[in-house]
Copies of this chain bind each other. A is one copy, B any other.
């Protein structure tokens, strides 16, 4: 029902930790970066525009399985897509692949809550936003 999109993210030296691979919490930043990129390029409504109309997305839950390390000189291919929504929340699942061999490095899901910037409270995701995400 919802399309899935891919974004490439080149590993930066400052992502590498003492274990000589991408620091585990950076995987979440890669997913975040992929979502922002896909809002611009695929959903045609950037995070900036989303904020301009008075909304924001907050992460309410994250679940990640770490399967393989990513190293310096690797590029991550981050695939994401909506799998459902209800009330103020939607679920996005993701896979992170190591580009050189397309082996799965991590996978998991995020629950995002749509929030009104004015009130700071969750708001039921409006139909027009669902439509934007239904490309």
Contact with B along A120-134 (1 / 0, CB 8 A): 000000000000000
Contact with B along A65-101 (1 / 0, CB 8 A): 1100000110000000000000000000000000000
Report B-chain residues with C-beta under 8 Å of the C-beta of A58.
19, 66
Residues from 15 to 40 in A contacting B, C-beta threshold 8 Å? 16-20, 23-26, 28-29, 32-33, 36-37, 40
Q: Complex: how many Å from CA A24 to CA B23?
A: 15
Q: Is the CB of A14 within 8 A of B25?
A: yes
Q: A13-B36, A17-B17 provided; 8 other pairs, C-beta below 8 A?
A: A13-B18, A14-B23, A25-B25, A25-B32, A61-B63, A61-B64, A62-B62, A62-B64
